[in-house]
Chains A and B, each alone.
Chain A
């Protein structure tokens, strides 16, 4: 993975110094709340319900073991011994003290980490496929360009104060796993007709209050131009995006208002001035950065391992874990492993300091000292030998990191919600926990099969509920918490936004509602058909009827 040189290190060190001074000026009253707000936000510091929240950047989800150990140390020393991995592949601390943050940032800088631009109206952390570099369906490893974009976007002076936040995702696989259509800019890498690295540029996607899937602004962009092309898009947005209403300030609203043809025309016009200016990437720079993302020093192994095969054959629990939590790899004899942060009954995406240390040890022992954070809020060891899987599974079980539920109903994607976040309308973690307990039977979960359930505590949609096969949105009605359910959303190449089922439910009704949706699916599915495909085939109506039909009957009896 990328390692800092003196220039990168100087930038994070200078940032620590600058932010320490900003905090000092705020604490002595030289900066008002309003003036300090964008400064702290651009350093990932929110003021939350109970305490500030600090969001630490994990660029495109990649972490080294020593970085994860440092995060564990920080969570232990400055927080309550745990952290929350977010849907933006970042790590959030829920309880740091505002005055400790400069010190935390200084600690982070010692392991080449920071919290720069993890919040605020600027270009945020770049997100990527968690299997970049190891996925069998990968056509181009996008990480070198992602790192170049990270550097370019860091303190980009023209885009320091945009109308609203700005998110970029990169993906270089056949099956999109980075939800590039739900980003302000999505960069889809592919080899073009001349077998050169090219990019299909998407813009104007986003979830939030007004969910919109992105549109293609340019089918074919040579990689050298990716920075100047992004500058053209963001300049049009910076000058013309709405600033009068925060809910209408994202680029998606501008793209929609202008129409994709007119928006693209303006971008292309702007780009004619920017094309070939000095931010055009050179071969030398790409090579320099790409050297940090070369293949791991893999052993030459056969595609099968006898000890692994016999363990799978003799141990059904291990076999289930292998099926759900390990993933095919480019390199024969290796698998990528998902360590589940979705233990039933615990807050999705949370990890204790001890778990962080344990995972760091796993990474050192089994996966070249590196790991990744997924936007589904789990951790990945990308390069594990088949012969090591059994030993890893046994240790991961002891650490509470081996729930065999990846991609299943209880692998719930969930924002921190009303327990922590001051934006939330409703709690989300207790809903996730209640659903996990309702379906706390692995055999039943395997029978239900692939199902993505996403929960957001408000319409800002940090839990990506619109693209969940089942989506749950916390809403506020007269000061009490209710939950609206959508079905039929999906991430990936054939992304779609879910359809609202009907009137919202009280918290205690939610496990029952999910149960009814599952009952309809189990009744209606054809062999091998996934939940999402059944919804797409039969539509929302049968689900609606089953959920609300009986509800009405119960009400009538009452």
Chain B
């Protein structure tokens, strides 16, 4: 019996066609916190080392979801996969979405971008989704994975995500229901970009 899929795509549970590629773990702690990212920006300090990137194993066939820094460093090697539509890219919440956008000619040549959230309370993922959709006009599948729980799904959807890999110990069916938590949100966001007062006539009826 294969494991039941925990992947939501749009409004259904589907099998995952993509193989997640990760970098080998190293002993030294990687600085991942925002605030320090501001420092990274100023100092140019990297979050991964070259050895990790070089030793990352990439499956030779099928659809692969590759870390941003691996793709940036091994672009040429991955170019044929990219051309075949077999390349997706994932980034961590502490990585800069500009680094992806500025390194690619057409962001919509990627059928999948995924954002990894290590702790569900890390709301940077929402701004990243928003930037990908509104600033970089990314139109294909946008997936959240990692510590993804149903109570964040409604917000993720509103920030442009359309795919969610629910944490393995939780039910994707239950999570699906939460996408309908609120019927008429107040503010414009990615999914419904008009605020309620532009969607609905809220004038007070004459007494």
Contacts and interface: CB of A to CB of B under 8 A. Distances in A.
Contacts of A238: 123-124, 126-127
B29 to A, nearest CB: 11
B171 to A, nearest CB: 9
A153 B38 CA distance: 26
A11 B154 contact: no
Nearest to A35: B149
A244 interface: yes
A235 B125 CA distance: 11
B36 interface: yes
A240 B34 contact: yes
Interface string B182-201: 11111111000111111010
A5 interface: yes
A160 B152 contact: yes
Interface string A506-523: 000000000000000000
Interface in B113-150: 120-124, 126-128, 130, 134-135, 149
A277 B33 contact: no
B18 interface: no
B35 A240 contact: yes
Interface in A1-22: 5, 7, 10-11, 14-15, 18, 22
Given A22-B151, A242-B34, A155 B186 contact: yes
B158 interface: yes
Interface string B5-47: 0000000000000000000000000000111111000000000
Nearest to B183: A10
Contact of B151 (A39, A235, A253, A291): A39
B173 interface: no
Contacts of B203: 288
Contact of A241 (B35, B183, B186, B194): B35
A444 interface: no
A434 interface: no
Contact of B123 (A161, A258, A291): A161
Contact of B194 (A7, A161, A278): A278
Given A11-B186, A152-B187, A279-B187, A5 B202 contact: yes
Given A11-B184, A151-B187, A239-B34, A160 B155 contact: yes
A493 interface: no
B106 interface: no
A499 interface: no
Q: Name the prevailing secondary structure of the B interface residues.
A: loop
Q: For this complex, into which size category does the number of interface residues on chain A fall?
A: 35 or more
Nearest to A154: B186
A239 B127 contact: yes
Contacts of A121: 121, 123
Nearest to B39: A257
Contacts of B200: 7
B204 interface: yes
A160 to B, nearest CB: 5
A244 B35 contact: yes
A323 B69 CA distance: 68
Contacts of B154: 155, 157
Contacts of B202: 5, 7, 285, 288
B159 interface: yes
A242 B196 contact: no
Contacts of B182: 11, 14-15, 18, 155
Given A161-B122, A239-B127, A273-B134, A151 B186 contact: yes
B123 A285 contact: no
B124 A239 contact: yes
A556 B158 CA distance: 68
Contact of A158 (B33, B151, B159, B178): B159
Interface in A228-268: 235, 238-244, 248-249, 253-254, 257-258
A151 B196 CA distance: 10
29 contacts: A11-B186, A14-B183, A35-B151, A38-B121, A121-B121, A151-B196, A155-B154, A157-B187, A158-B123, A158-B126, A158-B155, A158-B189, A160-B126, A161-B123, A161-B155, A238-B123, A239-B34, A240-B35, A240-B38, A241-B35, A243-B122, A244-B33, A248-B35, A249-B35, A254-B38, A257-B35, A278-B194, A279-B195, A288-B202
